[in-house]
Structure 1
Amino acid sequence: MKSLQSESSVSKQSTARAVVIAIDGTSGSGKSTIAKALARHYGFVHVDTGAMYRAVTWHCLQHGADCNDAAAVVRAMREMKSDFRLCDGRIVMFINGADPGESLRSEAVTQNVSLVARIPEVRAWLVAQQRALLRFGSLVMEGRDIGSVVFPDTPFKFYVDADPAVRAARRASDGYADQVTQRDQLDTTRKVSPLVVSPGACLVDTGKNTPPQTLALVLAELKRRGL
């Protein structure tokens, strides 16, 4: 992996000056496409928080923890050693010194990640880690509770969505075997940090535009908001 930097080697930017662009939205809505493009455009660090929940899920499965058993998941999470590294402009979560890589996209992880993500202790721990990533500088952070929970005070919030049929096709082409409507139900009804449109978020329908058109609309809105 190129340009591997540990936390200690990263030049610290004042968190008071760092900018956070929050990209929330439904599964398969195009959050990653927008977030990566924005990170390249502004030279910010890209953070995929969904990959972090997948990493915890992967670790639990590797160690035989039942993802339906919250106590077992929390025990496994507390036993793992994790660190966050800047790799080619994005944050990668290493577990016990290893990058899970493509294993995060396995069917087993995909089928269990919502179970892990709904556990309050998991969310609390990961939210704390996500907030601490400001030590790497300005961020484009994508997920399902960035604008509502992780960085609710950022003025640069977007909620991304598209027709379920469009999103299902995208997920399939990306190699994921989940059902978007089922995932929507799990994400929007969990008790802790459910997926919501946070106050002040700009709504973006990616099903009506090409990726370049969507990016242009988002950039125009960010400029309007002072970025």
Structure 2
Amino acid sequence: MNKPLVIAIDGPSGTGKSSVSKAVAKHLGLSYLDTGAMYRALAWSCVASAIDLDDAESVAQHARTFDLRMGMDPAAPSVGVGDRLIDREIRQDAVTSVVSRVATNLDVRANMKQRQRDLIAEGSAARGGCVAEGRDITTVVAPDAPVRILMTASEEARMSRRSRQLRVAAESTRSQIVDRDRTDSTVSQFTTAADGVVTIDTSHIDFRQSVEAVLQVVKEVTDGDTELSTTAG
């Protein structure tokens, strides 16, 4: 295909969208962009720089100037600020508990939207396409993407998956799943598919089946132009 293959995948936490998106990107030889990690990186950078997260303008100004670096190789994605890699730090509770405070800042979102579009273009130029996943990629960041998918799952399935990832009780993940989604939904629509967006419910399918479901949507949208197999993942 001459036109870059951009695959936009949205969905709430715990649907498997990150791991599935990486697997799809790796299978198709595309770049991979975790847009949620960008907000986490900003939250980490604000905390590290002693910026008051309640000072919306200061947070927005920092968002415009901080040196965010996203590694987009799906086999080894990375997140850095300046020369420091912070992949581990942005997944810690100290960041998870505050990330919505920067992600719901509308000035921050405007800046991040442009950064994300630039990164998708950069990744597409490098590999012929990009799988970008997050919460408003199908509707705001890349509404013209050839493939747009909303991944959903029941609350029970989402909490169970996240608790297994974190090795903690499912109930203790509620604030990371339900409460954060409720907060983020005030500025982003990621629970209902927009027109032209394909919904994939992963409640009762495993990782491999989820990957295959996405690949099948890609195959249908590209009319078979992209060579796919049933052994992805």
Common fold, TM-score beyond 0.5? Answer: yes
2:208: which partner in 1? 212
- Stretch of structure 1 that moved more, 93-102 or 156-165: 93-102
Give yes or no for contact 1:47–1:90 (8 Å, CA) kept in 2.
Answer: no
Give TM-score scaled by structure 2 length. Answer: 0.82
Structure 1: 5+ residue runs without aligned partners? 1-15
Number of aligned positions between the proteins: 211
TM alignment of 1:33-182, pairs within 5 A: 33-87=19-73, 89=75, 92-133=78-119, 134-137=121-124, 138-175=129-166, 177=173, 178-182=175-179
Check 1:98–1:33 CA distance in 2 against 1; reply closer, same or farther (3 A cut): same
CA distance in 2, matches of 1:95, 1:43: 26
Counterpart CA distance in 2 for 1:166 and 1:150 is 27
Between the aligned partners of 2:18 and 2:71, the Cα distance in structure 1 is: 19
Whether contact under 8 Å (1:82, 1:94) holds in the other structure is yes
Shift of 1:71: 1.8
- 3-state SS of 1:22 partner: strand
**Sequence identity percentage:** 35
Q: Is the Cα–Cα contact under 8 Å of residues 32 and 72 in structure 2 kept in the other structure?
A: no
Partners of 1:204 and 1:81 lie apart in 2 by: 35
Any gaps of 5 or more consecutive residues in structure 2? 227-233
TM-score (norm 1): 0.85
User: 2:189 corresponds to which residue?
Assistant: 194
Superposed CA RMSD: 2.1
1:138-187 CA distances to partner (integer Å, 9 max, x unpaired)?
10011001110111011301101111121112222323954312122112
Any idea what the Cα deviations from partners look like across 1:42-89, whole Å, max 9, x if unmatched? 000111000000000000111112222212212333442233344565
Which residue identity does 2:189 align to in structure 1?
P
Q: Moved runs in structure 1, 4+ residues, more than 3 A?
A: 83-93, 176-179
Distance 1:136 1:216 in 2: 23
Moved more, 128-137 or 77-86: 77-86
Match of 1:221 in 2: 217
Deviation string, structure 1 residues 84-114 (Cα, Å, up to 9, x no partner): 3445656534212211120001111101111
Contact 2:150 2:199 in 1 (8 A): yes
User: Are positions 1:185 and 2:182 aligned together?
Assistant: yes
The question of whether the paired residues in 1 share the 8 Å contact of 2:32 and 2:123 is answered with no
Residue 28 (structure 1) aligned with residue 14 (structure 2): yes
Cα separation, 1, equivalents of 2:73 and 2:27: 17
